[in-house]
Amino acid sequence: MTELEFSAHCAAKLEEMILAEGPETVAAFIGEPALATGGMVPPPAGYWDAIQAVLKRYDVLLIADEVVTGFGRMGTMFGSDHFGMQPDIITIAKGLTSAYAPLSGSIVSEKVWQGLADGTDRFGAFGHGWTYAAHPIGSAAGIANLKLLDDLNLVANAGTMGTYLKQGLNAALADHGNVGEIRGEGLLLGVELVKDRVNGPTFFDASEGIGVKVHQALMRRGVISRAMPESDIIGIAPPFCITEGECDQVVGALKESVVEVLGQG
């Protein structure tokens, strides 16, 4: 399938599932704008347009999990902006404070907010309080962090450096026989390692721990990556303040690490 064909296939299967369950029983569809821990996978072309058309047809809410993609990771303030999504609810966390302090939250659309307001008038207050809700220290950290994102132009830098880093990775590794795919958007990138790219691709046996070995080789070179649990994927998600020189360092270290573990390919 082409990416557009696959997106249409996914939307058709979603509609089939909604009809099988009964549209009146389906409250919401939850998804990340782009998969993070799931393998650093951006959506195929046309995916969110096709999915949203089905959801609107059956009045199913869209919840965007922006815990990873929110606040700049894609080079836009939200991944939903980057992919043309119009979610009813957005979940937020990590990027909100850059983890300097624990804080998470939800952003709701006018449609959802009005439902909560009308329900409160009819049935009483919507009980959603938590012991540490709206904690002033977490809130202050979030405000300070978001101010720095603006003052230092870090969201735009994430987009620019993400493009530069992906180009560097492709130039250094795209021809290596054990590099199956270099993918991602903004500063959410992944390099997938395979046993044989030409005849398949075929994958390494999990017991070989190839991804972990490359990750460890990177660590020895002063670069922190993330070995994905699904397969041999090296996740690259650096800070938004990364420079061209530091991108070059990441690329050089990853190329050396892949060669160390897998040879010249």
Q: What is the pLDDT of residues 99-152, one digit of tens each?
A: 899 999 999 999 999 999 999 999 998 888 788 888 899 999 999 999 999 999
Indicate if 169 and 236 belong to the same structural domain: yes
Indicate if 8 and 129 belong to the same structural domain: yes
Question: Does residue 230 surpass a pLDDT of 90?
Answer: no
Residue 255's domain comprises 154-262
Indicate if 161 and 200 belong to the same structural domain: yes
Say how far apart CA 96 and CA 102 lie, in whole Å. Answer: 9
Share of the chain above pLDDT 70, in %: 100
In the prediction, which pLDDT does 20 show? Answer: 98
CATH of residue 15: 3.40.640.10
Indicate if 243 and 160 belong to the same structural domain: yes
Indicate if 133 and 70 belong to the same structural domain: yes
Question: Does residue 231 surpass a pLDDT of 90?
Answer: no
Of the residues 151, 176, 193, the one at which a domain ends: 151
Question: Does residue 38 surpass a pLDDT of 80?
Answer: yes
In the prediction, which pLDDT does 29 show? Answer: 98
Say how far apart CA 223 and CA 10 lie, in whole Å. Answer: 37
Indicate if 96 and 8 belong to the same structural domain: yes
In the prediction, which pLDDT does 227 show? Answer: 73
Question: Does residue 63 surpass a pLDDT of 80?
Answer: yes
In the prediction, which pLDDT does 226 show? Answer: 84
C-alpha gyration radius of the chain = 21
CATH of residue 222: 3.90.1150.10
Model pLDDT for residues 17-36, shown as the tens digit of each residue: 999 999 999 999 999 999 99
Mean pLDDT of the chain: 95
Indicate if 166 and 39 belong to the same structural domain: no
Of the residues 117, 133, 151, the one at which a domain ends: 151
- How many domains in the chain? 2
Indicate if 130 and 239 belong to the same structural domain: no
Of the residues 151, 174, 208, the one at which a domain ends: 151
Model pLDDT for residues 192-201, shown as the tens digit of each residue: 999 998 887 8
The answer to whether the predicted template modeling score (pTM) of the entire model surpasses 0.85 is yes
Indicate if 108 and 31 belong to the same structural domain: yes
Give the number of other Cβ atoms within 10 Å of residue 7's Cβ.
Answer: 20
Say how far apart CA 187 and CA 165 lie, in whole Å. Answer: 8
Indicate if 177 and 165 belong to the same structural domain: yes
C-alpha pair distances (Å), 176 with each of 103, 162, 192, 213, 247: 41, 21, 11, 17, 19
In the prediction, which pLDDT does 162 show? Answer: 98
Indicate if 129 and 55 belong to the same structural domain: yes
In the prediction, which pLDDT does 104 show? Answer: 94
Indicate if 53 and 119 belong to the same structural domain: yes
Residue 135: φ, ψ to 5°: -60, 130
